[in-house]
Structure 1
Amino acid sequence: MKLSKLLSKIIVLMPLVLLGGCATSTDYKSSAVQFLFSERDDTAKSAQIPILTLPMNVGIAFVPETGHYRTGDSRRLLPTLSSLTESDRTALMDEIGAQLKKYEFVKSVIQIPSEYMAVNGGFDNLERIKTTFNVDVITLVSFSQSQFVDKDISAIAYLTIIGALIVPGEINDTRTVLDAVCYHITGQRMILGASGDSNIRSRATPINILDQIRKDSLEGFKQANKNLALNLNQQLELLGAAICNSTGDFQIMCEPGYSGVGSLKKGAVCSVEPLRADKVLVKKSERKLYLKKGQRTLKEYNISLGKNPVGDKEREGDCRTPEGIYILDWRNRNSHFYKAIHISYPNREDISSARSRGVSPGGMVMIHGVPNYFSWTKWYFRSRDWTNGCIAVSNTEMDEIWAYVPDGTIIEIQP
């Protein structure tokens, strides 16, 4: 009888001994700072003034985790935390996306699957996401969660994109920080940032400690996300006011047919003067067209040229794209191609040069989209030089050029 009582005491006391001793924590962390800047070198593109195209298509993605850490006594029976599942991440992003969608200046919110986010991917990773998902702005969500199981007091320090957050640890604490930063991808500039934190205090017997820790982990993320939503809402209010009052560190462009933005929630509308290009620059060797405003590049596009792309245009039928400085002088909405803006070729010099060779200089050189009768094979026209000397872009890009470039704009076509 005495032996059985002694064994029962040993069995009961063993978990308590293993759970005692030095403070131990298990942590999961991801960092927007590390994702964006850890592998950036001196040759990286410098930040530019963001050009916000309204309404915005906003991507939202979780930053890849940087590791799972455990500190303290290695004899502890503290379980390994499970990272957030994809469904957990989707639910959290749904709540953040709901905040973004309340505002008139947000057109859509697109969740980026985790497999598209590379560890320490930086802005090169974001540029690929921009192309794949057609987003100019992305909200990066990062987190830190530490769980303490001990009588000692510990602390964690989490570096957010907008500052350091230091919180003390207590018995059976689950400390969670969620950080959301909104970046303009091309400009490589932060537009806004917000954080939310939570502290779950609980007690558990040695028998149910594993289940309790898992419950505390998920509940910690839920509560931190609620606090994040409140802070994010405040930052979005400020962004809306900055857009309306032109007080933000960015420029505004409006999509065709879009004339205003919600200063606060949907329905509260203010007018915005759309930003227009004052020059179009074409670099034939790069197959690039740039919309310029002073020294700044507002937009850039991949282009297709004439079927004989190298060299200046000399005569009608040579299938070359002209080189020089011209004017975009008129436009045709009902052309055989998807919209067309006329380039003022030939000028006097072109005509004189052609006459000296006894040939016609040609004409009707345009910037246009794909042929209307081949719109179902748009992919074909993006992969080659196919025009008779015109400059071709996609139909979506033609809509933007049509809206941002007024008649009378200078176009410079370089070799």
Structure 2
Amino acid sequence: MKQILLVLQGLMLVALFGCSSLVNEGSNRNAVSSSLVDYLYPNKDDRSEVTAQLPLLQLPVKVGLAFVPSAGFSPRQQLSMAQEMALLEKVKASFTRYDYIDRIELIPSTYLRNGRGFDALEQLARLHDVDVMALVSYDQVMQTIDNNASLLYWTIVGLYVIPASDNSIQTFVDTAVFDVKSRKMLFRAPGVNRIDQRSTAIGVADTMTENSFKGFDAAVQDMVVNLDAELGRFKDRVKNEKIAKVEHREGYSGSAGALDFVFLGLLLCACLVQLFQRQWRQPRNRP
């Protein structure tokens, strides 16, 4: 009787190992990326060209905001149009805080697929009536490694699956802001994120798909913090480092938080006029 039980247990273990091999999806590595350099310089010979032209910015500037088209081959890592626009809304919030920015136009990445290079970027800027383009590029690497714990066990409550896959998703995003006419980069801001998680082998695909967008979202949030800091420093850099020339559009007088000399002069004149009017209206004492 004991020998029969041992044989049955051995057969059960063989069957369980067989089931485990069916559940095991194997190790794989997927990546998706959108290269800013490849988009702006489709001809590699143009990458060495450097222009000495200094950007001329007309304040407040009009900004176009878009994702660089991706070149990945993993369907579960591809950002949908709705996901792209949702992430761009978070980036847009950083720009709206500063008075030297007029408006921010969100541009779907499909518009950027019609052509590459600065010539195509200039056409896109004219189409949307913007002076500056903020281009968001990214790299995401998704890796799944099945470990030695990929076993199935029978318990009192039934079949139990030990977490069998180590999943990692590394995401890098970067916003580069260009003056379209001079083709000069004004500043850039990066963001990074890493997600590590263990899951059952049978559910690894769903887990990775869900975490892919979470990685993008967290990396964009990290980038927004850096972008906000760069936007805050940009005005000081223009003044102190002379990285660009500045002209004011008609009706724009500068920073909303600071009074310029013209406004102070007008305010002083108004106060003096009111003071003289009050003194003139007071009755004079007769002798």
Q: TM-score range by the shorter chain?
A: 0.7 to 0.9
Once the 2 structures are TM-superposed, how far is the Cα of residue 112 of structure 1 from its aligned partner?
1.0
Equivalent in the alignment of 1:202: 197
Equivalent in the alignment of 2:72: 67
Name the structure where helix makes up a greater proportion of residues.
Answer: 2
- 1:269 is aligned to 2:263: no
Answer yes or no: is the 8 Å Cα contact 1:47–1:189 preserved in 2: no
Provide the C-alpha distance between the structure 1 equivalents of 2:180 and 2:260, rounded to a whole number of angstroms: 25
2:193 is paired with a residue of what secondary structure? strand
Provide the C-alpha distance between the structure 2 equivalents of 1:147 and 1:187, rounded to a whole number of angstroms: 37
Equivalent in the alignment of 2:246: 252
Give deviations 1:87-113, integer Å, cap 9, x for gaps. Answer: 110011000000011001111000112
Provide the C-alpha distance between the structure 2 equivalents of 1:45 and 1:128, rounded to a whole number of angstroms: 21
Give deviations 1:180-207, integer Å, cap 9, x for gaps. Answer: 0000001000001010000001011012
1:116 is paired with a residue of what secondary structure? helix
Equivalent in the alignment of 1:142: 137
Equivalent in the alignment of 2:225: 230
Answer yes or no: is the 8 Å Cα contact 2:145–2:167 preserved in 1: yes
Answer yes or no: is the 8 Å Cα contact 1:60–1:140 preserved in 2: yes
Once the 2 structures are TM-superposed, how far is the Cα of residue 131 of structure 1 from its aligned partner?
1.1
Once the 2 structures are TM-superposed, how far is the Cα of residue 45 of structure 1 from its aligned partner?
9.0
- 1:52 is aligned to 2:27: no
Provide the C-alpha distance between the structure 2 equivalents of 1:19 and 1:237, rounded to a whole number of angstroms: 47
Once the 2 structures are TM-superposed, how far is the Cα of residue 66 of structure 1 from its aligned partner?
2.6
Provide the C-alpha distance between the structure 2 equivalents of 1:142 and 1:110, rounded to a whole number of angstroms: 17
Give deviations 1:214-244, integer Å, cap 9, x for gaps. Answer: 111011011101110111111111102234x
Provide the C-alpha distance between the structure 2 equivalents of 1:270 and 1:92, rounded to a whole number of angstroms: 35
Give deviations 1:233-264, integer Å, cap 9, x for gaps. Answer: 11111102234x35331100111011113xxx
2:71 is paired with a residue of what secondary structure? strand
Identity of aligned residues (%): 27
Alignment of 1:368-407 (within 5 A): none
Answer yes or no: is the 8 Å Cα contact 1:65–1:119 preserved in 2: no
Q: For structure 2, which runs of at least 5 residues remain unmatched after alignment?
A: 1-6, 148-164, 263-287
Alignment of 1:75-224 (within 5 A): 80-118=75-113, 121-150=116-145, 171-224=166-219
1:29 is matched by which residue type in structure 2?
S
Answer yes or no: is the 8 Å Cα contact 1:61–1:140 preserved in 2: yes
Instruction: Return closer, same or farther for 1:137/1:272 CA change in 2, 3 Å cut-off.
Output: farther
Provide the C-alpha distance between the structure 2 equivalents of 1:64 and 1:129, rounded to a whole number of angstroms: 14
- Of structures 1 and 2, the one with the larger relative CO (CA 8 A, separation 6+) is 2
Alignment of 1:284-323 (within 5 A): none
- 1:13 is aligned to 2:21: yes
Answer yes or no: is the 8 Å Cα contact 1:198–1:223 preserved in 2: yes
Once the 2 structures are TM-superposed, how far is the Cα of residue 129 of structure 1 from its aligned partner?
1.1
Once the 2 structures are TM-superposed, how far is the Cα of residue 210 of structure 1 from its aligned partner?
1.1
Provide the C-alpha distance between the structure 1 equivalents of 2:127 and 2:261, rounded to a whole number of angstroms: 29
Answer yes or no: is the 8 Å Cα contact 2:146–2:201 preserved in 1: no
Once the 2 structures are TM-superposed, how far is the Cα of residue 25 of structure 1 from its aligned partner?
1.3
Provide the C-alpha distance between the structure 2 equivalents of 1:47 and 1:81, rounded to a whole number of angstroms: 43
1:99 is paired with a residue of what secondary structure? helix
1:199 is paired with a residue of what secondary structure? strand
Equivalent in the alignment of 1:387: none
Instruction: Return closer, same or farther for 1:272/1:201 CA change in 2, 3 Å cut-off.
Output: farther
1:19 is matched by which residue type in structure 2?
G
Once the 2 structures are TM-superposed, how far is the Cα of residue 31 of structure 1 from its aligned partner?
1.1
Answer yes or no: is the 8 Å Cα contact 1:55–1:254 preserved in 2: yes
Provide the C-alpha distance between the structure 1 equivalents of 2:71 and 2:22, rounded to a whole number of angstroms: 34
Provide the C-alpha distance between the structure 2 equivalents of 1:253 and 1:217, rounded to a whole number of angstroms: 43
Instruction: Return closer, same or farther for 1:271/1:52 CA change in 2, 3 Å cut-off.
Output: farther
1:92 is matched by which residue type in structure 2?
L
Answer yes or no: is the 8 Å Cα contact 1:49–1:187 preserved in 2: yes
